[in-house]
């Protein structure tokens, strides 16, 4: 990721959720609960982040009883660096965004960002 | 309802390319975790929205609508060649063959390029899809112009001339011999100089253009449109857009100028010269814009070469678009422009690209919006 990359408020919230436990594998519904995003917004963001090599994804290896296998996500090392940089610069990043979008960035971003 | 939505999501996931399918399946796999009722319904609906977006449903639908319009236009023009000529008109065959060859090119060449190759599949960008559909419709428009010019049921003072089977056969023979020679040359002399092969192709093309000009232009333009808008095309999106805009502007101005001249042949050469000059200048602007859009790759020499190439290609696109547009309205001058236009545009594009080629790449925002992911590089 080039220096100076900025992300949307929604993407920042996803990065913040993944940053909370960088080495842990998270599932989509858990991230959705943390960020308040609907599946129709969350998954396209995860796809683009994965396309850019910022997020890695895999299926659960073992079939759990009583539910389907989950698709799991976590930040790559590049993703962690980019997320840390982006979350540190949160006040500056959403400068060009609408007020409502800026407001959507969870307050805890700043605390969890690094 | 949620069960049905889950089933539709599972079925819809199969529409996605393999690399994307797992994401839709992931939404379905998580649905059981979501509280039953409205929340689960919303979750699954989001999954369907994901499938809709990732499968590019709207883009594909609009493109195939455009392809249908091209097919309808081609069928209509072919029907007109039968409808507007009296059955006993001995000259009718000439235009039926001309239009038939153009229609056949519109059917056969996309079929040939349905797999990865020079002619297709179409590029993923909206620009490529728009240019491909609009270009093919314009080719149909030239067929309509031919019918209108030659048909005795319209004003047509220019007769198409009697049908010449020998000319058609001669063109086919030249084409066949050229293709065979190229195949042999590639098989026996793999390290043959490409410029020599291109010279042979150019010479054969010139001969065919003289023998059967309308048919040759129709086939070459259809092939050019498909090649320029295919996924493997060397023409960058910015070059395609810049060339198309410049060509439309030049073509519109030329059409209005020829229309204003009102068929006064005494100024025809002067007017044509003025149009070519204008096209050259607009192509230079398009070439410069296309070259400027290329950002640095790290190697100055590589960047300079890439910029020069995109300038050249944008200019050629501008010339071709101009010629094609004018032919739809002022057929004789337009067909001259269909030949000279791309050459003039190519020259203008080379000049425009060369002016910008040595200009150092400027740091400028490269923004993208994608599914809520906003990236601004500076």
Average pLDDT over residues B34-45: 88
Q: How many CB atoms lie within 10 A of CB B348?
A: 32
Return d(Cα B61, Cα B66) in angstroms, integer: 9
> What tens digit of pLDDT does each residue of B16-29 get?
877 788 888 888 88
Q: Counting one residue from A and one from B, how many pairs have CB atoms under 8 Å apart?
A: 95
Facing residue for A48 by CB, picked from B26, B49, B371: B371
Cβ–Cβ < 8 Å for B316, B346: yes
> What tens digit of pLDDT does each residue of B75-89 get?
998 888 877 666 666
pLDDT at B244: 96
Residue B250 has pLDDT above 90, yes or no: yes
Facing residue for B43 by CB, picked from A4, A39, A69: A39
pLDDT at B263: 65
Q: Average pLDDT of chain B?
A: 83
Q: For B39-69, give the DSSP string.
A: HHHHHHHHHHHHHHHHTTHHHHHHHHHHHHH
**Closest residue in A to B24 (Cα–Cα):** A43
pLDDT at B82: 79
Cα of A8 to nearest chain B Cα, Å:
5
Q: For A86-111, give the DSSP string.
A: HHHTTTTGGGGS-HHHHHHS-TTHHH
**Closest residue in A to B29 (Cα–Cα):** A68
pLDDT at A100: 39
Which helix H or strand E contains B286, and what residues bound it?
helix B268-293
Residues of chain A found within 8 Å of residue B377, distances taken between Cβ atoms? 2, 4-5
pLDDT at B171: 86
pLDDT at B368: 46
Residue B319 has pLDDT above 70, yes or no: yes
> What tens digit of pLDDT does each residue of B287-317 get?
999 998 887 656 778 888 889 999 999 999 9
Cα of A39 to nearest chain B Cα, Å:
5
> What tens digit of pLDDT does each residue of B207-225 get?
888 888 888 999 999 999 9
| SS3 of residue B90 by DSSP | coil
Confidence of residue B277 (pLDDT cuts 50, 70, 90): very high
Measured at the alpha carbon of residue B325, what is the angle toward residues B103 and B288, in degrees to the nearest 5?
A: 120
**Closest residue in A to B39 (Cα–Cα):** A38
**Closest residue in A to B40 (Cα–Cα):** A39
ipTM for the whole complex: 0.73
> What tens digit of pLDDT does each residue of B194-208 get?
788 888 888 888 888
Contact status of B12 with chain A (Cβ, < 8 Å): no
Entry pTM: 0.69
Facing residue for A7 by CB, picked from B20, B26, B375: B375
Average pLDDT over residues B319-340: 90
Sheet holding A71-75, edge to edge: A26-27, A71-75, A55-59
Residues of chain A found within 8 Å of residue B47, distances taken between Cβ atoms? 39-40, 43
Cα of A4 to nearest chain B Cα, Å:
6
pLDDT at B22: 87
Return d(Cα B235, Cα B229) in angstroms, integer: 8
Percent with pLDDT over 70 in chain B: 87
Contact status of B32 with chain A (Cβ, < 8 Å): yes
Contacts of B304 (CB under 8 A, 6+ apart): B357, B358
> What tens digit of pLDDT does each residue of B342-362 get?
999 999 999 999 988 877 665
Can you state the percent helix, strand and coil of chain A, rounding each to 5?
50, 10, 40
Cα of A21 to nearest chain B Cα, Å:
20
Confidence of residue B240 (pLDDT cuts 50, 70, 90): very high
**Residue B137 burial (CB < 10 Å; 0-12/13-18/19+)?**
middle
Residue A109 has pLDDT above 50, yes or no: no
Residues of chain B found within 8 Å of residue A70, distances taken between Cβ atoms? 26, 29-30
Return d(Cα B228, Cα B245) in angstroms, integer: 15
Residues of chain B numbered 213-252 and touching chain A (CB < 8 Å): none
The answer to whether the Cβ–Cβ distance between A44 and B45 falls below 8 Å is no
Q: Which of A43, A55, A67, A98 to mutate to test the interface with B (most CBs of B within 10 A)?
A: A43
The answer to whether the Cβ–Cβ distance between A8 and B20 falls below 8 Å is no
Residue B115 has pLDDT above 70, yes or no: no
Strand partners, B369: B374
Nearest CA to A73 out of A114, A17, A33 is that of A17
């Amino acid at each position: 990721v080039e220096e100076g990359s900025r992300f949307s408020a929604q993407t920042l919230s996803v990065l913040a959720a993944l940053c909370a436990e960088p080495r842990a594998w998270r599932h989509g519904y858990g991230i959705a609960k943390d960020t308040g995003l609907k599946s129709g917004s969350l998954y396209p963001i995860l796809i683009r982040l994965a396309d850019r090599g910022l997020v890695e994804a895999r299926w659960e290896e073992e079939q759990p009883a009583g539910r389907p296998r989950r698709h799991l996500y976590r930040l790559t090392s590049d993703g962690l660096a980019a997320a840390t940089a982006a979350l540190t610069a949160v006040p500056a990043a959403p400068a060009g965004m609408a007020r409502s979008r800026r407001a959507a960035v969870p307050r805890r971003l700043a605390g969890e960002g690094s | 309802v949620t069960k049905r939505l889950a089933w539709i999501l599972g079925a819809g996931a199969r529409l996605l390319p393999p690399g994307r399918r797992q994401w839709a399946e992931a939404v379905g796999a998580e649905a059981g975790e979501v509280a039953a009722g409205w929340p689960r319904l919303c979750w699954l609906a989001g999954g369907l929205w994901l499938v809709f977006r990732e499968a590019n449903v709207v883009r594909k639908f609009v493109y195939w609508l455009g392809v249908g319009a091209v097919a309808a236009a081609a069928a209509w023009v072919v029907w007109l060649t039968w409808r507007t000529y009296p059955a006993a008109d001995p000259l009718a065959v000439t235009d039926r063959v001309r239009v038939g060859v153009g229609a056949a090119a519109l059917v056969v060449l996309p079929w040939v390029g349905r797999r990865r190759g020079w002619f297709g599949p179409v590029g993923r960008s909206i620009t490529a899809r728009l240019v491909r559909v609009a270009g093919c419709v314009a080719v149909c428009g030239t067929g309509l112009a031919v019918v209108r010019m030659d048909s005795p049921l319209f004003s047509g003072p220019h007769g198409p001339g009697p049908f010449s089977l020998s000319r058609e056969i001669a063109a086919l023979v030249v084409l066949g011999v050229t293709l065979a020679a190229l195949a042999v040359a590639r098989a026996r002399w793999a390290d043959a100089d490409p410029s020599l092969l291109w010279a042979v192709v150019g010479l054969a093309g010139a001969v065919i253009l003289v023998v059967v000009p309308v048919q040759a232009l129709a086939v070459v333009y259809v092939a050019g449109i498909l090649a320029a808008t295919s996924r493997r095309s060397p023409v960058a999106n910015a070059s395609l857009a810049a060339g198309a805009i410049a060509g439309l502007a030049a073509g519109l101005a030329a059409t209005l100028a020829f229309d204003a001249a009102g068929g006064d042949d005494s100024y025809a050469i002067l007017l044509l010269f003025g149009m070519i000059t204008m096209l050259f200048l607009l192509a230079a602007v398009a070439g410069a814009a296309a070259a400027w859009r290329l950002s640095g790759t790290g190697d100055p020499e590589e960047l300079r070469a890439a910029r020069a190439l995109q300038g050249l290609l944008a200019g050629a696109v501008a010339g071709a678009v101009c010629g094609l547009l004018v032919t739809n309205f002022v057929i004789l001058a337009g067909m001259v422009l269909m030949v000279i236009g791309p050459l003039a545009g190519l020259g203008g594009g080379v000049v425009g690209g060369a002016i910008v080629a040595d200009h150092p790449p400027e740091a400028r925002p490269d923004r993208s919006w994608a599914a809520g992911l906003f990236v601004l590089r500076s």
